[in-house]
Structure 1
């Protein structure tokens, strides 16, 4: 039994070969083959953590989000370093960093999206675009990837459509947001005079000067862009895996590309944060109490994404993407109902249950379509 357990674990974290890292392996070895069961397990972990990673910061002020996103990305980088060490430092491929860069390009759009069309509608739209962007890239082989065709294409298409529709259903649920009970209502670095306040809210003032129609148009465009970027996070790593002959030392284990991807996220996030500090004339809005919750949130996101890398290779992108992108909405909604009591009322609960049924049904169909 112990031998069987070790065999299963080694499929995810195998011992590195004594063969030099520059030797290109053309056929998957036994340790590189990740069982389908592990794909579903890691997808489940990703769903749980993606749906819960903002719970630690629920009651803390995050300001304009720039400092918070940098803290989160710093914690993500720590997870990447740990994964790299566990994997015995596999070769570093800069192409895999592209996925992290494009993800962060989409992530910095979240604040203006919330200011223009709101968080609920924003999550719905960029979530759908994210699903379709990543799924279609893997399914049809965009950007030089090898097209991955599910065993049952029709079932996969129906599952994807149901997952997209579930996001629309969830957008009709009304949340009752409770005010943040936090003594730290002001940032660590105060603004001083009203002139400084005006200077420090350049982005807010720009959006406030826009007409309602222009705000909505800007928000929708940013949602489209953000979703497209999110969906391409795995493209660089998948390209390497599909063309290993051109990348000596490359493996089929998705964990070997986590560090490279997270480096892209951290470097891009740090660049944006430095630009933000310059724009704010070295007076960024810093909320110290959000640091520890932000670190916890980033660690959870990093673990979830690492698991998603494994699920993509084990199940294939067309199968894993609908499952992992639809599931977190269910988990997050359960937090809202059972813990934070944000979702109440018969109408909201009925809509939520309907959304649950569609999302779970779509994820099941996407999973079954592999066989």
Structure 2
């Protein structure tokens, strides 16, 4: 029975991870052809100081490593995750970071037939047209030296990555302390998806506060684009479904396994959109880099997935021979 539960959790976790990867890599497709204004709270200054490519690399890597390490070593009051094969898990986490480095060297081309609003490559579209800083004035960054700009951009990118990587810490913390009778969280649900409403509500409240602060900074003249509202809604729905799948993967595989997989995979999906639909990525060099990144991500995903699986010799032989266990 234990083996069957283990196999069921592994299957559910891998399917959930795959869905999350596809949707996280596709959720900006609905808003691609629309001007979305000023972008996120930290993205614009990061782009202005160190560029989008380096910014994505830094915060993506710190996102992956923070989420993985906090679960693996029990940071922030969480219980450390037990791993059957620690070496495989370390290799998987390392490969996910290496794949992020490869994406830094993939160059996108803007097709000449596209309109002015469709000029941001999807592979770097997580910032949502953040190069168009119509509203906020970031000329103050020009008053900083090159070294100061680089330090500022790197600090903001590292901070963003760490915060992304900590986004599930409250859920895991409550789950871990829910197993203890002397905790105020005693008896709390052990199913991650039960916390999705609280998780999304926190995001909604925080985003609302950011928007109100932005409106005040803009002196009640925010840059709002009506054409982007409906596509933005669908983009948010894709993101929400992906996040739910991530929570399921956390439950089935644990965050120490799901984080390296789900933070590395969306880049491949975005690259596929860029190659086959938007024709933004061309050339043998780019294709070879994407193929290499795919192989590294696949190897990392398999390493992290099987680092959690514990099999005895009889179970391993049954898997190899594809014979049922008795």
Measured in 1, the distance between the counterparts of 2:139 and 2:146 equals 14
* Residues 1:218 and 2:152 are matched in the alignment: yes
- Structure 1's consecutive aligned runs of 4 or more residues displaced over 6 angstroms after TM superposition are none
TM-score (norm 1): 0.73
2:63 alignment partner, one of 108, 127, 130: 130
Partner residue in 1 for 2:193: 255
2:17 alignment partner, one of 43, 64, 73: 43
SS for the counterpart of 2:278 is coil
Query: 1:159-200: per-residue Cα shift (whole Å, max 9, x none)?
Result: 11111101101111111135862689xxxxxxxxxxxxxx95
Partner residue in 2 for 1:148: 81
Query: 1:293-337: per-residue Cα shift (whole Å, max 9, x none)?
Result: 111111111111111111111101111111111111111111111
* Alpha-carbon shift at residue 341 of structure 1 (Å): 1.1
Measured in 2, the distance between the counterparts of 1:171 and 1:208 equals 24
Measured in 2, the distance between the counterparts of 1:132 and 1:111 equals 23
Measured in 2, the distance between the counterparts of 1:110 and 1:262 equals 21
How many positions carry a matched residue from both structures? 286
Is the Cα–Cα contact under 8 Å of residues 60 and 182 in structure 1 kept in the other structure? Answer: no
1:355 alignment partner, one of 280, 293, 309: 293
2:27 alignment partner, one of 46, 53, 69: 53
Structure-to-structure mapping, 1:207-356, within 5 angstroms = 207-244=141-178, 245=181, 246-248=184-186, 250-356=188-294
Measured in 1, the distance between the counterparts of 2:54 and 2:65 equals 17
Is the Cα–Cα contact under 8 Å of residues 38 and 135 in structure 2 kept in the other structure? Answer: no
Measured in 2, the distance between the counterparts of 1:290 and 1:55 equals 12
Partner residue in 2 for 1:201: 136
Measured in 1, the distance between the counterparts of 2:232 and 2:77 equals 36
TM-score (norm 2): 0.83
- Structure 1: where are the runs of 5+ without partners? 1-29, 67-107, 185-198
- Structure 2: where are the runs of 5+ without partners? 119-133, 310-326
Q: Which moved more, 1:342-351 or 1:132-141?
A: 342-351
SS for the counterpart of 1:55 is coil
Gap change, CA 1:220 and 1:283, over 3 Å in 2: same
Measured in 2, the distance between the counterparts of 1:34 and 1:144 equals 29
Measured in 2, the distance between the counterparts of 1:200 and 1:59 equals 19
Measured in 2, the distance between the counterparts of 1:307 and 1:320 equals 10
Q: Aligned-residue CA RMSD in angstroms? A: 2.3
Is the Cα–Cα contact under 8 Å of residues 150 and 319 in structure 1 kept in the other structure? Answer: no
Query: 1:100-155: per-residue Cα shift (whole Å, max 9, x none)?
Result: xxxxxxxx212211222222221111111000000000000001111002110001
